[in-house]
Chains A and B, each alone.
Chain A
């Protein structure tokens, strides 16, 4: 079994009309055994920037701690929050530093940039950025997620419709993947508010 599939994970980020949504599954497993059904994969960097980390849970935790540290230092020096594009470049650099001994994570970065324009991107475990205008996916269920998102996505969705779409795409994909699932965690971010919702899916 690949080290990326040791803990199991599923992540999506989708762009809407002046808003974005980021969603993850909630399972923490050790290969075939489920340890917890309330594992947090999406972290808030600041009010308009969210980071999802799929892959090996220990590296996701370490990487998150390192990135929060770097962002806090940036906030102290610059007296402002990082733009999503800048943060994506930071994540890419941090990952490439470990090119020959990498963190086994695939990050998904989603944020609201200048003029409330949503920004999403993903990268592989050594920092190769993949910018997209519509959606990005990561995790053990990524192939199913690509298919589901491609079928369900429409451009310029409002927040409520975006929430429905991302939730359906997540749940239908993780239901076909034994290593991810046990519900979902969905964040929908608009310029004015952040809405966090827990999904109940097939609890297996």
Chain B
């Protein structure tokens, strides 16, 4: 039931993910951040087995940082995507990771980019992508309303349309979503879309 989706706009890329941490029928928490800031201008939105998701994305994050320390320049989005695919591909026939990834990034030379990397290490550069059961709704909604070079307002509007669609049509729809954006000013959290607040509730 994990929903992750993203799209590329004019000079930016935006990704959204649900924030439920679920174990069978139990919701552990509803504010689990599944979009990791890989470096200053990259985001990794990951869905899949919780252990693999955190371990694998942290591993990628640390290796991307190591490259920057060693070489003095950051990796491009394409290079980071190919590195991620390489790690998944190497592990595939030994000890596979069950993680689906949408890697969004911004490079000064080439602009925004979104890479679809599924758990069996299929890599493809896309304008819009989605994983999980939510993808059946978000991909169709994006197919209908997406056009190239959307503004931030239009893109967030489209993301909200997808969230509304998922909430109304997916049987075990996640209540909360986080939206993160990456553009020339860097990767940052844009907004949360919450219907259930996960705080220590003060009871009556």
Contacts and interface: CB of A to CB of B under 8 A. Distances in A.
Interface of A: 7, 28, 30, 33, 35-36, 39, 56-58, 61-62, 101
Contacts of B121: 58, 61-62
B66 interface: no
B124 to A, nearest CB: 5
A28 B123 CA distance: 10
A39 B135 contact: no
A61 B122 contact: yes
B135 A33 contact: yes
Contacts of A101: 93
Interface of B: 85, 89, 92-93, 116, 118, 120-124, 126, 129, 135-136, 139
Given A33-B136, A62-B89, A39 B124 contact: yes
DSSP class of A's interface residues: helix, strand, loop or mixed?
mixed
A101 B92 CA distance: 12
Contact of A36 (B93, B116, B120, B136): B116
Nearest to B119: A58
B143 to A, nearest CB: 10
Interface centre among A28, A30, A35, A39 (most CB of B within 10 A): A35
Contacts, number: 33
A31 to B, nearest CB: 11
25 contacts: A7-B122, A30-B118, A33-B135, A33-B136, A35-B124, A35-B126, A35-B129, A36-B124, A36-B126, A39-B124, A57-B122, A57-B124, A58-B89, A58-B92, A58-B118, A58-B120, A58-B123, A61-B85, A61-B89, A61-B121, A61-B122, A61-B123, A62-B89, A62-B121, A101-B93
Contacts of B129: 35
Contacts of B135: 33
Given A33-B135, A33-B136, A28 B93 contact: no
**5 A-B pairs with the lowest CB-CB distances in the bound complex, closest first:** A58-B121, A57-B122, A58-B122, A58-B120, A36-B124
Nearest to A34: B139
A101 B93 CA distance: 8
A36 B130 CA distance: 11
Contacts of A33: 135-136, 139
A36 B123 CA distance: 11
Residue from the set B85, B93, B124, B129 with the largest chain A CB neighbour count within 10 Å: B124
B93 A35 contact: no
A56 B122 CA distance: 9
A56 B126 contact: no
A35 B135 CA distance: 10
